Amino acid sequence: MYRTLAAALLCALFATPSASARDVPPDLASQLNSQLQANRERYGIAGQAVLVAHNGQVLYQGASGERDPATHAPATVDTIFAAQSMAKLLTSTLVMQLVDQGKVDLDAPASRYVPALPSTWHAIHVRDFLNHSSGIGEYYDRVDNRWVSKGYTGVAPDLAAALKVAGSAPMQFATGSRVQYTQANYLVLTALLETHYGKPYPAIARERILQPLRMTSTSWGAASVPAQRAAVPYIGKDGQLQPANEDPWPHYGWGHADLQTTVGDMNRFLQALATGKLVRTATLEALWQPQTLTGGGSNFFSTGWDTTRSDGYTQVGHDGGTRVRARLAYKGTLASGYWVFVYLTNGSARNAWSSTLVESTMAVAAPGEFPHAALSERLTGYALTGDSSSESSLRAWLSENSGIASNELERAINATGYAIRNNLGNRPALKVFALNTALYPTSANAWDSLAECHAALGEKETADRLYAKSKGLAKTSP
């Protein structure tokens, strides 16, 4: 079951003179319907809803599968999914608004705005809490499949107690030296917002984001969702779907988790950001730059947004575990054009990476704009169904039409091999790693990845031989 927008939207888009618009296939709705079905079959997705937009125009909305497999209730584009940690995008945006207004300095200690923070955190900057580079500990542990704060039978009863629990834990690393994704970081930001506005976090988010954007299907906590619209969360175990049976997060944790939303609402949110309705676009573009870590390298979180740079695009967004992801992609500046991709599911038998799901839609919507996504999708198809004839055509495409520079192609194929290994298993991935060694026979890294895959399959003799080959090539490489 699929619902798509009128063809008039596509016609309007084609009037746009950008390369991105010209790259959109004329039968996009049919192609994306097929892609959703392929993803369901590949990964065992229970139910899903997808939205693709370009420069403010929705090109596609579709849904398939079941929002509740137990009752066979179908998923629709109006189904409300548990988006979990995508809640952090709202919190980050609320903080960025204060930065944009000159009321918060990201490079000032968070204790300037939240004096009651644990004393050991008083020198940690706001930016480090946003970017998960603070080094602080967590406010709970997983005990008997439940979240339990130290000293309590469950999670801490309120925000102050939760911060105290996290503050009593030893620092995990020197602030700013590396990244460790920690929910407690966003408790600090929740406290900052509540201190500044003098009201509870949900009220702040509703007043400043949800109500102005008419995000009427977005809330927190499964109990807030009408049963007839709720997608029941599932999880994969031994290749089979089973109910997730997740504990609800405490109300004070809604700044980091338990978001419930639809593809349409997430599109409204990302469109508002891209057009400067929530934060000035110049501010966003500055804040979506990578943080340089003192331990070397860059942080892949930029003001809390999961950020990658690929194919000339800055791609920002967030996931909600393996089930959901929202992504905004722009080249250079937001004014030069942008894409929105929202992919929501209620779980898959294989716990497929949400980034893989989003990239499968990018590959269909604009393969020329996102060649790395197109490569991933082609290699996944080859891994599952490819034979000698399909390998021949794949090789020809890789050498002539992939759109990826030859000096990047080996690494891109290798990365896709690992994604396939995680999402579909070792045997399909083996074909991709073997193809890479055939294309790059002098690459020590390609042979090492192939050896690792054989080892994971329990084929020790073959793995040892290939590891030896890899080591030999590494010694002779300049």
Q: What percent of the chain has pLDDT over 90?
A: 87
For 103-155, the pLDDT digits (tens) are 999 999 999 999 999 999 999 999 999 999 999 999 999 888 788 999 999 99
Q: Note the pLDDT of residue 389.
A: 74
Q: Note the pLDDT of residue 110.
A: 98
* Residue 182 structure tokens: 């920690």
Q: Note the pLDDT of residue 118.
A: 95
> Does the pLDDT of residue 413 top 50, yes or no?
yes
The mean of the pLDDT values for the chain is 93
The mean pLDDT of 41-47, rounded to a whole number, is 97
> Does the pLDDT of residue 335 top 90, yes or no?
yes
- Give the range among 127-136, 186-195, 390-399, 452-461 with minimum mean pLDDT: 390-399
The mean pLDDT of 208-233, rounded to a whole number, is 97
425 within 8 A of 395, measured Cβ to Cβ:
no
User: What is the model's pTM?
Assistant: 0.93
Q: Note the pLDDT of residue 14.
A: 31
Contacts of 455-464 with CB under 8 Å at 24 or more apart are 456/421, 456/426, 457/426, 457/427, 457/430
Burial of 119 (0-12, 13-18, 19+ CB in 10 A): exposed
Query: If pLDDT is split at 50, 70 and 90, which confidence band does 7 have?
Result: very low
> Does the pLDDT of residue 252 top 90, yes or no?
yes
**Residues in Cβ contact with 41 at an 8 Å cutoff, skipping those fewer than 6 apart:** none
Nearest to 167 by CA among 153, 180, 155, 150: 150
DSSP track, 429-461: HHHHHHHHHHH-TT-HHHHHHHHHHHHHTT-HH
∠ CA(188), CA(194), CA(200), 5° rounding?
Answer: 120
Q: Is 152 helix (H, G, I), strand (E, B) or coil?
A: coil
DSSP track, 161-216: HHHHHHHHSPPSS-TTSS----HHHHHHHHHHHHHHHTS-HHHHHIIIIITTTT-T
**Residues in Cβ contact with 153 at an 8 Å cutoff, skipping those fewer than 6 apart:** none
The mean pLDDT of 353-364, rounded to a whole number, is 97
> Does the pLDDT of residue 6 top 60, yes or no?
no
Q: Note the pLDDT of residue 478.
A: 64
Q: Is 306 helix (H, G, I), strand (E, B) or coil?
A: strand
The mean pLDDT of 442-449, rounded to a whole number, is 97
| Residue spans per domain, the chain | 81-345, 370-478
- Buried b or exposed e, range 445-463, using 16+ CB within 10 angstroms: bbbbbbbbbbbeeebeeeb
The CATH number assigned to the domain with range 370-478 reads 1.25.40.10
Q: Note the pLDDT of residue 246.
A: 84
Q: Note the pLDDT of residue 23.
A: 65
Q: Is 132 helix (H, G, I), strand (E, B) or coil?
A: coil
Q: Is 477 helix (H, G, I), strand (E, B) or coil?
A: coil
- Strand pairing report for 57-68 and 47-54: antiparallel
> Does the pLDDT of residue 181 top 50, yes or no?
yes
Instruction: Give the whole-angstrom CA distance, residue 195 versus residue 205.
Output: 14
> Does the pLDDT of residue 22 top 70, yes or no?
no
Q: Is 342 helix (H, G, I), strand (E, B) or coil?
A: strand
CATH topology of domain 81-345: Beta-lactamase (3.40.710)
- Strand pairing report for 301-302 and 57-68: unpaired
> Does the pLDDT of residue 20 top 60, yes or no?
no
81-345 and 370-478 have identical folds: no
166 within 8 A of 214, measured Cβ to Cβ:
no
Query: If pLDDT is split at 50, 70 and 90, which confidence band does 401 have?
Result: confident
Q: Note the pLDDT of residue 296.
A: 86
DSSP track, 230-295: BPPPEEEETTEEEE--PPPPPGGGTTTS-EEE-HHHHHHHHHHHHTTSSS-HHHHHHHTSPPBPTT
**DSSP single-letter state for residue 298:** B
Phi, psi of 66 (to 5 degrees): -125, 130
What does each C-alpha distance from 176 to 113, 116, 197, 230, 356 come to in angstroms? Answer: 20, 22, 28, 39, 29
